[in-house]
Structures are given as C-alpha cells and as structure tokens.
Structure 1
C-alpha cells in the first residue's frame, strides 16, 4: 500500500498530465477556431467576389441587350433608308423618262406616241428608242394600258402564220384580252387584219384588243424593261 506522500505525488502527476492535455486541446481548439475564421473570411471574400462578378455579368448582359436593340433599330432604319433611296432613284428614273413622254409601271417604261404610224413604222420607232412595241403579260399590265385611254398598236401580230398570234419577241400568245367577236381577221376582208391595237372606249378593261390592217395609222405604245 503506497504511502500518503507517494500517493500525493501520483495525484499531482495525474493533475499535471490532465492540465497538459487540456492545454494541448485548448491550443488545438484555438488553432481550429483561427482556421475556421480564416476559412470564413475566405468564404466571405469569395462570396463577395462572386456577387461582384454576377453584378458585372448582369451589367454586361444588359449592355449587350441594349446594344442589340440599338443594332436592330439601326438595321431597320438602314433598310428603311435604303428603300427610300431606291424609291427616290426609281422615281428619278421615272421622272427623267416621263419628261420625254415615258410612263412607269411595274419595272417597265412605256412610251405613248403623239403621232400615228402603221404597225411596222411604229415598231421601228420603238426599236430606235431602245424598246419594242408593248407585250402585255398580265391582267394588271392590261388594266394599266387601258387606263392610258389610248387607241394604239401593241406588239402582237399573226402576219407570219395566219391565226397564230405572236408577240414581237417571237413568243406565242397564251392569254388574250380581245373585244367581243375579235379577232375576226377583217370579216369579209379575211386575212387582211394581222396586227393588234388596244382600244380604250370599252367598259371592260380586259376586253379591248382588236385586229386591224397593219398598214393603218394608229398611235403606238413602246415598252422597255428597266
């Protein structure tokens, strides 16, 4: 059985050992607390940096959207101005030719004569103007010519083959806008009316063509593409 003195020494050693362990644990705790605080600070800094980057991203996105809107607006304005410029240039072309007796319709120019000639002479005049007698290719073009109120030669004839109507470019007629009873080739004078004129004194704008003798003098209409 240990003596009381020895027992006290053992107790003191045990206490000192526990105090040492306590101090070590306290040191570890303090170090961990310090490390935690450092990590928290780093986390806070990263969070702040992330928020700043998010703000910059949002600002750049908004700026990009604003620039895209401005780009779209400028593109629309450019297209509008180009259309206006095209319209002005077209109008200038039309006006320049209108001063010389030309009319404009659907990308073509039309010359309306003020004198009268036979069909061949009329066509020759058109050719000298860099055009040809008008070829009517649509209902809209027919209506446009009808509204000119002119009785005039057009570029249609069956002078090569009787009954086969061809335009001056050699293409065969597919859609005609004949007056009632036309073409009649002259009735009793069959085979004598081989050229076509357009009438204006009709109620129906798509029933105005009449075949007539090619040697008859009429006004004429020239056409050339723009």
Structure 2
C-alpha cells in the first residue's frame, strides 16, 4: 500500500458500568496516518483507556465498599442505640418497680409502727389521765380530811373551853354548897333524912325522890308552878334548882320529852316552864354543854339570848331568857 493510504481502525471501549438501556454502543473512529505507528498508538491508547477505566471502576468499587461498611457500622450503632434506649427505659422501670415495692413494704411497716405507737400513746394518755384524776381525788380527799380535822379541832377547842367554864362554875357551886353544908350540917342532915324518909306513925318510909318531887326513870323532877309574882327568869330558875342540889332539866329522849310535856300543866297564870336548853353561838345547847341532837323538837332557829320553855298541848317554844316563867328542876334519883 502507498504511504498516502489512510487506514481506518475501529476501537470499542467497554465500561464496567451497567449499560444504559437508552444508549447504543459508541464507536470511536480515529484517523491513522501511518500504518504501523498509527496502529501501535491506537493499541496503546486503548490499553491506557482500558487501564484507566479499570482503576476508576476499582476506585469506585472501593468507595462503595467503604460506603457500605459505613452504612453497616451506622446500622450497628443505631441498633446499639435502640438497645441502649430500651435498656435505659426498661431496666430503670424494673428498678423503679422494685423500689416502689420496697417503699410500699416500708410504708406498711411504718403504718404498723404508727398504729402501734398511736395505741401506746392512747394507753399512756389514758393511764396518765387516770393517775392525774386519782392524784387529784386523793388531794381533794386529803384537803377535805384536813378541813374536817380543823373543824373538829375547833369544836374540840370550843368544847374544852366550855367544859373549863362549866368546871369553874361547878367548882364554885361545890364550894358554895360545901360552905352552906358546913354551916348547916346538922339541920341539913336532918332535913335530908326527913325529905327522903318521912316519918309516918313513928316509922320512916324512904323513897328515891324527895317529898314533892316526881320520879321517872332514873331522875327526880320538881315542877315549880309558881304564881306570876314568884316566877323567875331562866338564870333565876337555874339558881333555884342549884339551891336544891339539882339543875334545870335536860331531856335525853322522846320518852323523857313526853313525860316533861305531860307534867307541864297549863293554867291562866303559867305560860311555860323553863328547861335547861338555851341558844349559844347560834346553836341550841343544853346546860351540860351538849348540843340539841333532834332539831325537830323545836322549830325556831337559835338566837343568842333565847331560852326554851315546855307546856302541855304545844311544842317547845323559844322565849327571851329574861322573861319570867315557871321552871322544872331535875336531879338523880336515889337507889332505895
């Protein structure tokens, strides 16, 4: 062939990429001027292109591998993150349930302790209240006892003073009687014998009471129904009784009261008979120092300066001790 001849060669370059469905294979035509050189260059060019294409494909393949590896690692990390999230929410939940159960158990124990402590507190409060009440009651009882003892002590002091006064009066009375007895010893002895043992037909008949006195139980009574001009105040009547070795009558029981009342005779000249009861210190008192025990025997309240009279067909009456009345004397009867 001549040098000027031009040869045409066709080179087909295949790529490892997937062929596109819409394009046809491309054909590249190169103009070759020299037969030998041109062919050689064409071959070198094809090899270089083929080599470059292989390197590019390998590089892309490695890039895809790295991308897939990263994607796998990312998936693993995502799975681990999901597992961690589940573990984060699941395990604490179980732990919270256990703690809740433990708290409920502790709460139950605390409630039981509170209930026991409440009952113990109630019991202790009740015992304390009972002890305080008992202590208060004992204190009040001691106060009342002390008050009663003080009252009794005052009464004993008053009685002692009155007894001392009575003793003084009795001592003075005894001294007066002894003096009178010594002065009239002989005549009094004769008078006493005649009073208790009067002579009748040269024979003495003795009795428990003097002549003119009425005997009842263990006492003798003289009902002095004096005329109005001879009637006496309470103190005068008592002095008269003392002169007869007696005193104004003291009534001990209902039987004696009835006897005194039945013998307190009524007439136009006598309004009452003095007995040995008068008001002292706001109380009715007998001449022997004792208190009137039966308040129903006289309805009037005791007023100092008032004395009591007895009379048939009426109850005892309070009158001024300075008023003049008849009187009743009493002394012990003799044993005959």
**TM-score, normalized by length of structure 2?**
0.33
**TM-score, normalized by length of structure 1?**
0.48
Comparing both chains, which one has the higher relative contact order based on Cα–Cα distances under 8 Å and sequence gaps of 6 or more?
1
Pair member with larger Rg: 2
